Amino acid sequence: MFRIARAALGLTMAAAGIIAVGTPANATTVYSSDSCSSTTRCFAIFYNSKQNIGIFYSSCFITNKSEYSHEGYSMPTPSGLYTVRYQFDYGNDLEFHDAGSACRPSEGSGQGVKNNAAGAVNEDSASHRVYYNTGYGGTYQTYYPGDSKNLIAALKNENASSERL
């Protein structure tokens, strides 16, 4: 009798596995260049380095919160997996008070943020750190409120997360 119960359980589990594998999951992927809840107090990560005249003038990603991964994030929903991928864009020609730096259409628009950044401007009221590793680990560079600078060599095109301090 024990063998019959085990066999029945095995068949039930196998059938459930076939159903789970055979059912397609609905997945949605969206692309975002703006993770900032403010219209004026944001931390902007730029695709290009500062120009010779000392300003950033390229596509950017803006935020005013910690970003565990510059790749984006995924979360399950009742209808399937919802994925947000962070990318550089021009933020509706967003301008910063720092001597004219601005998010503008340029090469880099549409590129993923992770491992593609060259510098940042911090107009948030809090400091931000850019990290080498996802999850706020490894080499980092701190941007205090008002800072506008290129990433250090160890982080240029090697950015994986950022933290609002």
What are 60-118's pLDDT values in tens digits? 999 999 999 999 999 999 988 999 999 998 765 667 765 678 888 888 999 999 999 99
Predicted confidence band of residue 14 (pLDDT cuts 50, 70, 90)? very low
> Is residue 155 a contact partner of residue 118, using CB atoms and an 8 Å limit?
no
pLDDT tens column, 22-51: 344 577 888 888 877 666 688 999 999 998
* Bridge partner list, 73: 84
pLDDT digits (tens, 9 = 90+) for 135-147: 999 999 999 999 9
Taking Cα atoms as reference points, which of 149, 164, 143 lies closest to residue 49?
149
Pick the closest to residue 89 from 112, 72, 69 (CA basis). 112
Domains and CATH numbers, the chain: 26-164 (2.60.20.10)
Element (DSSP H or E) covering residue 29: strand 27-32
pTM of the model: 0.79
